[in-house]
């Protein structure tokens, strides 16, 4: 716990109240918004990464638990950055422990940046060569962030040229109510298209008419202009 106090002290020394105010607004922390109640110090991600590299090998799960339970956004982010580093260096047994620890503390992973900077590198990396049924349970969760974890985790699969799970999960998210899910799903689909245009084009031709507009826009962002406009104006013919 000595190192926990030290890393907290170092983190708070980097606090920037002006930047914290900007982040409070950017991450929608007002009443009724998705990040309601989140507290920011105003510490940038690059500075947090330096701390994570400095202390990552010194903190264990007992230290990371209070960080992940913190009301301070940067404390939760720092814990996740450390877990990502530890996962990359770990053997298979410790990787499984980190994966399980991640979901034991999943309620602390409750904003889109926390999800996006951790899910592919822990959840996606862990499940790449394993059964992926849990992602299909997660995508049905009432918790917005857990649904986002499910789809964003598949970015690791995509980077390894495995697209099936992304498309299956995207299909289940076509009627999701949350814009943050539309954006994440469109992002994942776009990444599929960057590696396999035909696979994405085939998927979109089947579902673009019922797909949320934001999801579609994100998915076709890299398409040739003429084809992109055809999708947007509903003039796709096969």
Residue 110's CB is within 10 A of a number of other CB atoms, namely: 19
The per-residue pLDDT for range 29-61, each reduced to its tens digit, is 999 999 999 999 999 999 999 999 999 998 899
Buried b (16+ CB within 10 A) or exposed e, 139-156: beeeebbbbbbbbbbbbb
Round to whole Å and give the CA distance between 74 and 22. 14
Rounded distance between C-alpha atoms, residue 95 and residue 84, angstroms: 10
Provide the phi-psi class of 90: left if phi over 0, else alpha when psi is between -120 and 50, else beta. Answer: beta
pLDDT of residue 28: 92
Find the CATH number of the domain harbouring 134.
1.25.40.290
- Model pLDDT for residues 149-158, shown as the tens digit of each residue: 999 999 999 9
Q: Are residues 183 and 230 in the same domain?
A: yes
Are residue 53 and residue 127 in the same domain, yes or no? no
Provide the pLDDT for residue 234. Answer: 82
Q: For residues 199 and 150, state if they share a domain.
A: yes
- pLDDT confidence tier of residue 3, bands split at 50, 70 and 90: confident
Eight-class DSSP state of 213: H
- pLDDT of 148 > 60? The answer is yes
Question: In the structure, what pLDDT confidence band is assigned to residue 2 with cuts at 50, 70 and 90?
Answer: low
Instruction: Answer with the one of 79, 110, 141 that is the final residue of a domain.
Output: 110
State the average pLDDT over residues 171-178: 97
Strands (E), 50-171: none
104-142 tens-digit pLDDT: 999 999 999 999 999 999 999 999 999 999 999 999 999
**99 and 127 inside one domain:** no
Residue 235 has pLDDT above 90, yes or no: no
pLDDT at 22 over 90: yes
Q: Give yes or no: residues 98 and 158 share one domain.
A: no
Instruction: Name the token pair of 191.
Output: 């990444």
CA 218 to CA 186: how far, in whole Å? 5
Residues 152 and 206 in one domain: yes
Question: Where does the pLDDT of residue 237 fall: very low under 50, low under 70, confident under 90, or very high at 90 and above?
Answer: low
Q: Distance between CA atoms of 80 and 82, rounded to whole angstroms?
A: 5
101 in the same domain as 175: no
Same domain, 77 and 155: no
Report whether pLDDT(80) > 90. Answer: yes
Return the SS3 of 39.
strand
Mean pLDDT of 6-32: 94
Q: What would the mean pLDDT of 231-236 be, rounded to a whole number?
A: 84
Domain that holds residue 8: 1-110
Number of domains the chain contains: 2
Last residue of a domain, one of 65, 82, 110: 110
């Amino acid at each position: 716990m000595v190192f926990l106090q030290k890393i907290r002290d170092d983190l708070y020394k980097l606090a920037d109240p002006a930047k914290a105010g900007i982040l409070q607004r950017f991450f929608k922390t007002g009443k009724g918004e998705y990040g309601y109640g989140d507290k920011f110090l105003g510490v940038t991600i690059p500075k947090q990464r330096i701390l994570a590299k400095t202390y990552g090998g010194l903190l264990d799960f007992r230290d990371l638990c209070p960080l992940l339970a913190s009301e301070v956004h940067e404390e939760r982010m720092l814990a996740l950055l450390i877990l990502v580093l530890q996962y990359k260096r770990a053997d298979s047994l410790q990787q499984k422990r980190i994966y399980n620890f991640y979901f034991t503390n999943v309620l602390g992973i409750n904003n889109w940046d926390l999800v996006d900077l951790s899910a592919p590198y822990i959840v996606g990396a862990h499940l790449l060569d394993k059964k992926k049924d849990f992602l299909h349970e997660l995508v049905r969760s009432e918790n917005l962030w857990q649904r986002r974890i499910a789809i964003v985790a598949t970015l690791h699969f995509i980077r390894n040229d495995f697209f099936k799970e992304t498309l299956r999960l995207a299909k289940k998210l076509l009627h999701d109510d949350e814009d943050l899910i539309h954006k994440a799903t469109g992002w994942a689909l776009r990444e599929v298209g960057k590696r396999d245009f035909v696979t994405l084009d085939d998927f979109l031709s089947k579902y673009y008419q019922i797909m949320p507009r934001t999801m579609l826009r994100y998915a076709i962002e890299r398409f040739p202009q003429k084809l992109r406009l055809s999708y947007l104006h509903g003039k796709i013919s096969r």
